[in-house]
Amino acid sequence: VVLDEVERRRGISAALVYPFMRSLMESPFPAPGKTIKVKTFLPGAGNEVLELRRPMDSRLEHVDFECLFTCLSVRQLIRIFASLLLERRVIFVADKLSTLSSCSHAVVALLYPFSWQHTFIPVLPASMIDIVCCPTPFLVGLLSSSLPKLKELPVEEALMVNLGSDRFIRQMDDEDTLLPRKLQAALEQALERKNELISQDSDSDSDDECNTLNGLVSEVFIRFFVETVGHYSLFLTQSEKGERAFQREAFRKSVASKSIRRFLEVFMESQMFAGFIQDRELRKCRAKGLFEQRVEQYLEELPDTEQSGMNKFLRGLGNKMKFLHKKN
């Protein structure tokens, strides 16, 4: 928003940029989720009040999930998400650099609270295209002009995604079976009905960010992780020396759902999961991010939420979405 306003003023006169930036710098920096008002003047428009809202979750300040839904259907997006979760090789192909960059950063943001641990090149220069022959996991973006060369290379098993046509150029054919079935269906339903959920929430007095696309999509994927690994803290034990250790097998076996246990068997072997647990084992104090907040709520609910699947998932997204279960 700020850059748009700067550009708007620069288009009239460069002299208008400085007063705007000074006014902005004199305003207090907003706390997460809060809004500040900046008074500005623009010739022809007069005095204006610009409202700037800082996201509740600072991870999303430079991420735009809109690009994913512009380029991909919900089903394709979930298949890509599943492939990245299991640390496979993924190649995005698009006509524009901005599409490659936006979609690559957005899809990696869906993995929160986990972090992509492997090669990540949102825009791979044509001169470095041989990197796609690498046998280790990666997420890279290529311009469409490199597609003929890409098809000639001896690329190992990889998911190749054409962002311009919502098609897979190449796939492994098992992408629909990687996630727990009921949770995948719940993910799909929540994302298919995202506009409905956003408009419902914007009518409420809710303080949180589910009335924005970024906020809602973030909460939907966080809920997936809460349902699959939200009980991890119950299996972090502490020795007399204060060292923490994760009880892997007890953690996995404690899950009632067979499909989630099967998913965890594979996911727990990933570097993403190993990095996440190692970070928690080494921390002096408990993590306090958005994921931990949702986990805390989830663990409090646990005795009352023996039901599984769609309704439990949607209920977990918050009271503002209760209308969804009434319709199901």
Q: Concatenate the DSSP letters of all residues of 280-319 into one string.
A: HHH-SS---SHHHHHHHHHHHHGGG----SHHHHHHHT-G
Q: What is the pLDDT of residues 258-299, one digit of tens each?
A: 999 999 999 999 999 999 999 998 887 766 788 998 999 888
Cβ atoms of 246 and 236 within 8 Å: the answer is: yes
- Residue 273 identity: F
> Is pLDDT of 319 > 90?
no
What pLDDT, in 10s, does the model give residues 176-232?
999 999 999 999 999 999 888 877 765 554 445 556 888 899 999 999 999 999 999
Dihedral angle sign, alpha carbons of residues 237, 239, 242, 248: negative
Give DSSP secondary structure letters for 51-82: EEE--SSGGGGG--THHHHHHS-HHHHHHHHH
Tell whether the model's pLDDT for residue 35 goes beyond 90.
no
Residue 323's pLDDT is: 34
pLDDT over 50 at 326, yes or no:
no
- Return the ∠ at Cα 108 (arms to 92 and 1), rounded to 5°: 95
Q: Enumerate the β-bridge partners of residue 121.
A: 140
The pLDDT value given to residue 306: 46
Q: Spell out the residues 6+ positions from residue 31 whose beta carbon is closer than 8 angstroms to its own.
A: 54
User: What whole-number percentage of the chain has pLDDT above 90?
Assistant: 56
Of 48-57, 81-90, 137-146, 212-221, the range with the lowest mean pLDDT is 48-57
- Evaluate if residue 238 carries a pLDDT over 50: yes
- Asked if the model's pLDDT at residue 144 lies above 90, the reply is yes
- Tell me the fold of 63-179: Rossmann fold (3.40.50)
Considering only residues 76 and 6, tell me which one the structure prediction assigns the higher pLDDT: 76
Q: What is the pTM (predicted TM-score) of this model?
A: 0.78
How do strand 35-42 and strand 46-53 relate by DSSP bridges? antiparallel
Q: How far apart are CA 115 and CA 274, in angstroms?
A: 10
pLDDT over 50 (residue 240)? yes
